[in-house]
Amino acid sequence: MTIRPSTLATSACAFSLLALSASLAQAQAPIVIGLITKTDSNPFFVKMKEGADAEAKKLGAKLLTASGKTDGDNAGQVTAMENMIAAGAKTILLTPSDAKAIIPAVKRARAQGVMVIALDSPTEPVSAVDGLFATDNYKAGVLIGQYAKAALGGKTPVIATLDLFPGHPVGAQRHNGFLQGYGLKSLDAKSNDLAKPPEVVCMADSFGDAAKGQTGMENCLQKNPGINVVYTINEPAAAGAYKALKAAGKEKDVVIVSVDGGCAGIKDVGAGVIAATSQQYPLRMAAMGVAAGVEYARSGKKVSGYTDTGVTLIAAKPVAGVDSKDVTTGMDLCWGNK
């Protein structure tokens, strides 16, 4: 049987149109990436979202965001993950509120072919996720520890630590890193406990909050008025500590160090409130996460292992033997409202 030329032509056209539209559709289907932060209200995560948003727009991906209700709200994060995967997310970027409790949900997601990257805080075990983009919090602590020791000259350190709250890995890493950098007896980067060498006369929990930091500092000063070094978990706690010291007339005699590198905190470094702070880069973490997600969707290549997103010591007054950048650099790189 012979096929008429016109029929052949029509079918060829039809088939090629079909193929073309199919490939067009595939090229146009947006890459969906999910970002789940601990909370919505911490400026650190607000900035992370902005960074992720900007990068997603640049690369033409669609970003879904969600968060837990409070620090520690694991259930909220699990629900968000499930919803995002159902909505088509192929990559989940996650700052875990609870390093262990999130593991089952992560496993389920990866079993469905979803790439899970932890940002800022590690899971436990770290290998449960495909990759971790985070600040080396231990190193952040070491840098400010080294600075504090040098800044104190040769004086005997009388140290107060304003920590996060017991059991949190980031709180432990920064605290122990600080003590290590200072050259005191400390614990290693894997530990979740807070080291307490004899030079540390007071430890208080600030929950990362200015008012509680102030209360903690006041009580520590009451316990030992001779405190001359204060390590703080983040810059709001440092601001609170400074207020307490100022009220006691001791703000000039005490070296306050911190971690974060938010714009408000860098301003405080410039104002002499904080002697030095380790600046971290949430926007970079988020952007890297989004880029990795896009890459995975396009080529199927996953990330692996830990990628250090960098930490820089920012100080107004440099000290001998410790590398630091100045406040102007800090302001350029800072996150938050300038």
Partner 1 sequence: MKAKLPPMGTLGPFIALLLACAFFATQSDRFLTLQNFSLILQQVMVVGTIAIGQTLIILTAGIDLSCGMIMALGSIVMTKMAADFGLSAPVAIALGIGATALFGLVNGLLVTKAKLPPFIVTLGTLNIAFAITQLYSGSQTITDIPEGMNWLGQSLRIGGTNVLYGVILMLVLYLVTWLALRETAPGRHIYAVGNSPEATRLTGISTDKVLLGVYVAAGVFYGIASMLSVARIGAGDPNAGQTENLDAITAVVLGGTSLFGGRGILIGTLVGALIVGVFRNGLTLMGVSSVYQILVTGILVILAVATDQMSRKGVR
Interface residue with partner 1 among 98, 130, 205, 260 (CB under 8 A) is 205
Q: Which single residue is written with the structure tokens 């060829």?
A: 12
Positive or negative, the CA dihedral 289, 292, 294, 297 is: negative
CB-nearer residue toward partner 1: 126 or 264: 264
The rounded Cα 215 to chain-centroid distance in angstroms is 26
Site mask for partner 1 (CB under 8 A), range 87-116, x = bound = ------------------------------
- Residue 42 is a binding residue for partner 1 (CB under 8 A): yes
Contacts to partner 1 from residues 125-184, by CB under 8 A: 165-166
Instruction: Give the helix ranges, DSSP H, for 152-254.
Output: 169-182, 210-223, 235-247
CB 119 within 8 A of CB 133: yes
Interface residue with partner 1 among 210, 238, 269, 287 (CB under 8 A) is 210
- Residue 214 is a binding residue for partner 1 (CB under 8 A): yes
Q: How far apart (Å, rounded) are the C-alpha atoms in residues 325 and 319?
A: 11
Site mask for partner 1 (CB under 8 A), range 218-237, x = bound = xxx-xx------------x-
Structure tokens, 250: 């001791």
- Residue 239 is a binding residue for partner 1 (CB under 8 A): yes
Write down the least CB distance from residue 160 to partner 1, Å: 10
Q: How far apart (Å, rounded) are the C-alpha atoms in residues 100 and 84?
A: 21
Q: How far apart (Å, rounded) are the C-alpha atoms in residues 244 and 206?
A: 13
Q: How far apart (Å, rounded) are the C-alpha atoms in residues 120 and 112?
A: 24
Contacts to partner 1 from residues 264-303, by CB under 8 A: 264, 267
Which residues sit at the interface with partner 1, rule CB under 8 A?
40-43, 46, 70, 165-166, 202-205, 209-212, 214-216, 218-220, 222-223, 236, 239-240, 243, 247, 264, 267, 336-337
